[in-house]
Structure 1
Amino acid sequence: MTQLGQSGGDALVELFGRTKVVIGVVHLAPLPGSPRFDGEAVEAVYQRGLDDARSYLDGGCDGVIVENHGDIPFAKPDDIGPETAAYMAVVSDRIRRELGKPVGINVLANAAIPALAIASAAGAGFIRVNQWANAYVANEGFVEGESGRAARYRAKLRANGIRVFADAHVKHGAHAIVAD
């Protein structure tokens, strides 16, 4: 897997030391600012995320990806508040520091810019973006890939070492160009 804009180098080998990996997905509880956040102490949210990550790694996963899965219904990228990035950065940094394995970030839905900010702040090695280059229609509405903006933002952060793992065709939407 070669990073866009760079030659050579396999992202999986560079991050995990092998070409085939298993990545556990830490589904965070609802975060402050999301509709389902019930006022739970954020320390409990952080601890649950850390415990879930530890379980994945103890079970043989090579690393984890942290995502705001509890923030249903998901917002479009420009509607995600800075509080999401702040809380996700804290828990992701705690997971990386305590467990010492590769950590990635996925901000739902398709929010590459906040994911890069979180990854940069937390020392994460990669982000996941559902749709990198194309546009699709999903339950959040019309969502466009953010590759141009995200690549520029990553360069602005001087975070070109953060890898981007992206879907070719997101499974949670329809693509007008290919009529799927």
Structure 2
Amino acid sequence: MFTNLQGKKYVVGLVHLKPLPGTPLFNEGDFELSMEKALKDTQALLDGGADGCLLQSVDKIYPSTDDTDYARVSALAVIAHEVRKLVGSRDFKIGVQLMWNCITPSLAIAKVCKADFTRCTALIGTTPSPFGTINADPLKVMSYRRSIGAEQVAMIAEIQGYHFKGDYDSGAIRMYANSAKTVGADAVEVMHKDEELNNRIVHDLKTVSGSLPVVLGGGTDLSNVTSRMKEADMALVGSCFENGKWGGNIDPNTVKEYVGLVRSIKV
């Protein structure tokens, strides 16, 4: 999906789901609510002119490893299947992500449901998290990706942001980007709350020879998107589309306004 980014900046909305079956905070009825929300939010993104969605589990308590409960995988697969049916043949990208770093289960869902991409908290490196240290295992990921024929499922690798933590260092950022590319990433994701530093990180990554597309993993809204997205290639958008109510319903009017601002940026 990242081969055709040249000349266009992508806007992808985060679809935040309820806790899924197989997780500690799941309650009966949550699956049905998640399905309803996923379809309504996807339609809102379509109506607002967004380029895609990322179906993201919000289970609040997560494993620190790459593996997860079978029921959780099955639930997201069913939801992703229905979202794919809703989207149909329209050019609208669908992503799936089982948090915190369940990359291989997410690849499996994407392959079976014909989703376009997944987001990887730690495809390379190590990062702390509230649920324990997250250790990347790119050999396992890439071996599994090949074994199920999921090379066409794109992988966004976080290297600085909400989930992959680390102090800013220009050399380290470039090294992480090159390492991510080596192990099969199709794009790298960054985010810093300080806009000036955020833009400097993006600029650093755009100067890497043969650089990957750069995704902003949050931090954008209607007031700053034109400046934050000046050099970036894609934005993952959560609370802005939910009108500041994280986990709420996506507002198609906000999506339309945001997309209009992004389309106004000169590439």
TM-score, length-scaled by structure 2:
0.57
Across the aligned residues of Structure 1 and Structure 2, the Cα RMSD in angstroms comes to 2.3
- Take 1:21 and 1:82, find their aligned partners in 2: how far apart are those partners? 32
Give 1:113 deviation, angstroms.
0.7
Is 1:105 the equivalent of 2:96? Answer: yes
User: Identical aligned pairs, as a percentage?
Assistant: 27
Q: Give the length in aligned residue pairs.
A: 166
Is 1:137 the equivalent of 2:125? Answer: no
Is 1:81 the equivalent of 2:69? Answer: yes
CA, structure 1 residues 18+118, in 2 after alignment: closer, same or farther (shift >3 Å)?
A: farther
Give 1:136's aligned amino acid.
T
Is 1:96 the equivalent of 2:84? Answer: yes
Give 1:43 deviation, angstroms.
3.1
Give 1:115 deviation, angstroms.
0.7
Q: Unaligned 5+ residue runs, structure 1?
A: 1-9
- Quote the residue 1:54 is aligned against: 43
CA contact (8 A) 2:84 2:115 kept: yes
Q: 1:154 aligns with which of 131, 142, 145?
A: 145
Higher RCO structure (Cα 8 Å, ≥6 apart): 2
Q: Secondary structure at the match of 1:36?
A: coil
Greater alpha carbon shift after TM alignment, 161-170 vs 102-111: 161-170
CA, structure 1 residues 110+78, in 2 after alignment: closer, same or farther (shift >3 Å)?
A: closer
Give 1:41 deviation, angstroms.
5.8
Give 1:136 deviation, angstroms.
1.1
- Take 1:73 and 1:111, find their aligned partners in 2: how far apart are those partners? 13
CA contact (8 A) 1:112 1:129 kept: yes
- Quote the residue 1:4 is aligned against: none
CA contact (8 A) 1:88 1:118 kept: yes
CA, structure 1 residues 56+152, in 2 after alignment: closer, same or farther (shift >3 Å)?
A: same
- Quote the residue 1:40 is aligned against: 29
Is 1:20 the equivalent of 2:20? Answer: no
Give 1:172 deviation, angstroms.
3.0
CA contact (8 A) 1:96 1:102 kept: no
- Quote the residue 2:52 is aligned against: 63
CA contact (8 A) 1:24 1:56 kept: yes
- Take 1:57 and 1:117, find their aligned partners in 2: how far apart are those partners? 25
Larger Rg: 2
CA, structure 1 residues 75+18, in 2 after alignment: closer, same or farther (shift >3 Å)?
A: farther
- Take 1:43 and 1:172, find their aligned partners in 2: how far apart are those partners? 28
Give 1:79 deviation, angstroms.
5.0
Give 1:146 deviation, angstroms.
2.8
Q: Unaligned 5+ residue runs, structure 2?
A: 173-267
TM-score, length-scaled by structure 1:
0.83
